[in-house]
Amino acid sequence: MKRRVLLLSAVAGMLGGATVAHSTTAPTGLPNHDAIFGGGKFDFPGTTLVRNFSLTARRDGERGEGTLQYQRFTVEVTCVRIDGNAGVIGGILRSSPGGMVGGPAAMYFVDNGEPVGAAVGGDAVSALILIGPGEDPGGLPSSCPAVDRSQATQPLYAGDVVVHAGQ
């Protein structure tokens, strides 16, 4: 699948202001559903620009539901896929300062245990991936791509992500 990572630094610089991420509470029914939730801060790949996100997502059968807030972008979660301590969410971009509303989006997560500051080897995430017009969405937004730990290369320096495989 051809993908491109949205370069948010220019957009954020033009719009000014920063969004502060906050950790969210676990979704209802956590023991019975696959779920990814949390929030945090990380440096945008290749820069020192701070990115913030918060997420509550779960899979109920074949359907995902929830919301990802990434800077000034909002993604309606439509799929969740988990493999061990790693996961990916996919969905539809519902709000964006720079267009592409209605297009597919994805983000990868790796849960390495305790929140940042409590243990070495904190959680890692990818930047928000937006699929542009004319690009192959690879099944998004109805079907998530395979879990790929190598996509989650940005360590959190604040926050926590929980990847939970349901029963």
Domain boundaries, the chain: 4-164
Give pLDDT tens digits along the chain (167 positions).
Answer: 334 443 333 333 323 333 333 334 444 545 578 999 999 999 887 888 899 999 999 998 788 999 999 999 999 999 999 999 999 999 999 999 887 899 999 999 999 987 666 554 589 999 999 998 888 888 899 899 999 999 999 999 888 999 999 87
Q: How far is CA 25 from CA 13, 30, 48, 81, 161, in A?
A: 30, 10, 28, 19, 11
Read off φ and ψ for residue 52, nearest 5 degrees.
Answer: -120, 145
Give the count of beta carbons closer than 10 Å to the beta carbon of residue 41: 17
Tell me if 135 sits within 8 A of 5, measured CB to CB: no
Q: What is the model's pTM?
A: 0.79
d(CA 104, CA 39) in angstroms, rounded, equals 21
